[in-house]
Amino acid sequence: MVDEYEFGLIEDEGFSLTDEEQLRIMPIPNQLSHVDDWIDDPTLPSEENYKNICYAKFVLNWMRMPAHIMSSVEPWMKQHKLYCKYKNKTYKVTGASRLGDILLASNLGRTNGYDIRVSVLDCSGWTDSV
């Protein structure tokens, strides 16, 4: 039975972990890895990438919305396509998972489905056209 949970430190009857022990068990990543964290990151991109990264955040944010909201604006949003580079190959972004990864299709004309799921941090070269 857990008596208290505060700041990542769990204390149980007669058992407790220090912050250092807790970090060895469950290290906190030093980079943002969930697509929602990447979308919400307040750090401004470089001036040369500003437009493309902001566009990617806009489209990925829409892809993360609940289905009933996505479908209500889908006729307008289908004009907003998103592509990225992953391992030096161009892919079409077809979705963003609630698990934090993004869905990529190697067929650039594909409208749904995916071939691979990757971390948003592994992608670059965001663009709206190929």
Q: What is the DSSP secondary-structure string of 2-13?
A: EEEEETTEEEET
Euclidean distance between CA atoms 41 and 125, whole angstroms = 18
Domain locations in the chain as residue ranges:
1-30, 31-127
Give the pLDDT of residue 24. Answer: 52
Q: What pTM did the predictor assign?
A: 0.73
Query: If you compute the radius of gyration of the chain from its CA atoms, what whole number of angstroms results?
Result: 19
Which among 72, 59, 70 has a CA at the least distance from the CA of 102? 59
Q: What is the pLDDT of residues 57-102, one digit of tens each?
A: 999 999 999 999 989 998 999 899 999 999 999 999 999 999 999 9
